[in-house]
Structure 1
Amino acid sequence: MALKLLIANKNYSSWSLRPWLLLKAFDIAFEEQTVLLGDGDFKARIGAHSPALRVPVLVDGEAVVWESLAIIEHIAERFPDKAIWPSAPVARAHARAIATEMHGGFGALRSAVPMNLWRPIESRPLSDKATADLAGIAGRWRAARERFGAGGDFLFGAFSAADAMYAPVATRIRTYDLPVDDLTAAYVEAVHAHPAFVEWKAAALKEEQVLPEDEVDWPVVKRV
C-alpha cells in the first residue's frame, strides 16, 4: 500500500516540509494530500487521522504517524536500504541528537521569523534570545560539517534526515537575510539547491492563501 502524507501550505508549513523533503530526496513514492491551514475544516480533516490536530501526518496502511521526527524514524525503519541516517554509528548518534534538538528547541528564532517562502529577501532584526538560537544552530551545523561532512555539501556529507529537519531554518536565514558565517551560508545554499527543495518552493510560490500570523510585515504581504 502506498504511503500517504498529509501536509499543509507549502509556503508556511515548516513541519510539513521536513518529511516531504525526505521522501522526495530518497525517491520514496507517496501520495500527497494538502489540507490548508486556513481552511475551516482543517482540524476535522486532520483529526480524522491524528489526535494532535496538526500536520504532518503519515498514513502507512494501518500505521498512522504524526510529528515530523517520528515520521522520519518510521520511514527510516520502513526503508532500511535508504541512507536516511548516517551509516556510521557515531555520526548517526550525532545526527539524531541535533535533529531531536531542532524538533523541540530554538523556539525564539522560529517564532520571530516564521517560514515564508514567497517573502522577498529582506533583513529583520532579532531579539537577543532569537540571536542566541541562531548562533546555536550555526554552531550545530559547523560542528557536524567539520566532523562528519567531508563527503558532500550537507551536514553529514550526503543528504540525511538531519538536513530534512533543519531545512526550514535554512529558509528563514535566507528569507530574513540573517547574519551568518561563510560555512553556514554555504550550507543554506546547498539546501536551497537540492532538487527536492526546488520542487517544494516552486509549488509554494503558486499558493494563494495568506496567513496573517506568518506574515511578519502584516498587514502588508510581500511576495517575490
Structure 2
Amino acid sequence: MKLVIGNRIYSSWSLRGWLLARQSGLPLEIEVLPLRQPDTSARIRAHSPAGKVPLLIDDGLLVWDSLAMAEYLAERAPGAGIWPSGFAARSVARSVSAEMHSGFQALRGAWPMNLKRMGQALPPDDATSADIARIDAIWRDCRDRFGAGGNFLFGAWSAADAMYAPVVSRFLSYRDGMPDDIRAYCGAVWDHSYMQEWRQDAAAETWAIAEIDGL
C-alpha cells in the first residue's frame, strides 16, 4: 500500500489516515506532499480525484476518505483491532468517529493542528468552547462505558482514538487548564508508540505555514 499525506506538522486528516494504516500492520509506503505551496493542488490531484489528502492506494484501488480508510483497513486487516470487538462499543466508536469527521468546525478553524506549538494557550471563543465541551463529554462517556480495559476511549487503541488524535494535539497546543481526566487521556494518546513515531518524523520536516505558526 501507499499513503499520500500532507505535512506531518499540520495535516490533521493525514495523521488520522496514517494512524489507521499504521495500526493495520500492512506494509506501507509514504509520500509526503507539502501543503499550501503553489503546486500543492496540482500534485495532490495527480493522485486523488478528490484533490485532498490523505489518499490510500492499494494495488491500484484509491481510498480517499479517512472513515472509508478505517472500514477498508478493518476488512484488509481484521485482526488489527481497528474497531472495538464488542457490538455496542463498535457502534458507539463509529458514531463518535463520524461526529468528529463531520463536526467541530469552530475548533478546527480556531485551533489548527501545529505540532511545533505546545502549551501556548489561546483563549477559545464561544463556538470553540461549545466544541470543547462536547468533545470532553464524548471522551468521558466512552471511557466510562467502554474504557476499563486500557487507557483509550474503548480500552485498547482503535479508530476512534485515531480520529481524535489531532484534537489531542490541539488541546496540548492551545488549551489551558484541562481537567485531570481529559489531560490523562491526552497524555495516553500523545505517548502512544504510533504518535511518537509520527512526532519524530514531523520534527524532521522543514516546511512551514506562516499563518498557522503566527497564531
Say yes or no: TM over 0.5. Answer: yes
Q: Separation in 2 of the partners of 1:69 and 1:198? A: 23
Residue 55 of structure 2 aligns with which residue?
Answer: 57
Taking the TM superposition and a 5 Å limit, the aligned residue runs for 1:163-178 are: 163-178=161-176
Residue 18 of structure 2 aligns with which residue?
Answer: 20
Deviations 1:123-162 (A, max 9, x none): 1100001001001001000000000000000000000000
Q: Is the 8 Å Cα contact of residues 10 and 200 (structure 1) preserved in structure 2?
A: yes
Q: Is the 8 Å Cα contact of residues 5 and 55 (structure 2) preserved in structure 1?
A: yes
When normalised by structure 1's length, the TM-score is 0.92
Identify the match of residue 33 of structure 1 among 19, 31, 34.
31
Give the secondary structure class of the aligned counterpart of 1:123.
coil
Identify the match of residue 135 of structure 1 among 130, 133, 145.
133
**Residue 153 in structure 1 maps to residue 151 in structure 2:** yes
Alignment: residue pair count: 215
Give the secondary structure class of the aligned counterpart of 2:42.
helix
**Structure 1 pair 65–31 and aligned structure 2 pair: CA distance change class (3 A):** same
Residue 95 of structure 1 aligns with which residue?
Answer: 93
Q: Separation in 1 of the partners of 2:129 and 2:214? A: 17
Name which of structure 1's ranges 187-196 and 170-179 shifts more when overlaid on structure 2. Answer: 170-179
When normalised by structure 2's length, the TM-score is 0.96
* Alpha-carbon shift at residue 73 of structure 1 (Å): 1.4
* Structure 2 residues without counterparts, runs of 5 or longer: none
Taking the TM superposition and a 5 Å limit, the aligned residue runs for 1:100-139 are: 100-139=98-137
Residue 7 of structure 2 aligns with which residue?
Answer: 9
Q: Is the 8 Å Cα contact of residues 20 and 69 (structure 2) preserved in structure 1?
A: no
Q: Separation in 1 of the partners of 2:123 and 2:6? A: 28
Q: Separation in 2 of the partners of 1:6 and 1:13? A: 11
Give the secondary structure class of the aligned counterpart of 1:59.
strand
Name which of structure 1's ranges 115-124 and 18-27 shifts more when overlaid on structure 2. Answer: 18-27
* Structure 1 residues without counterparts, runs of 5 or longer: 218-224
The ranges of structure 1 where at least 4 consecutive aligned residues each deviate by more than 6 angstroms after the TM superposition are none
Considering only aligned residues, what root-mean-square deviation do their CA atoms show, in Å?
A: 1.3
Q: Separation in 2 of the partners of 1:120 and 1:188? A: 13
* Alpha-carbon shift at residue 216 of structure 1 (Å): 4.3
Counterpart amino acid of 2:19? L
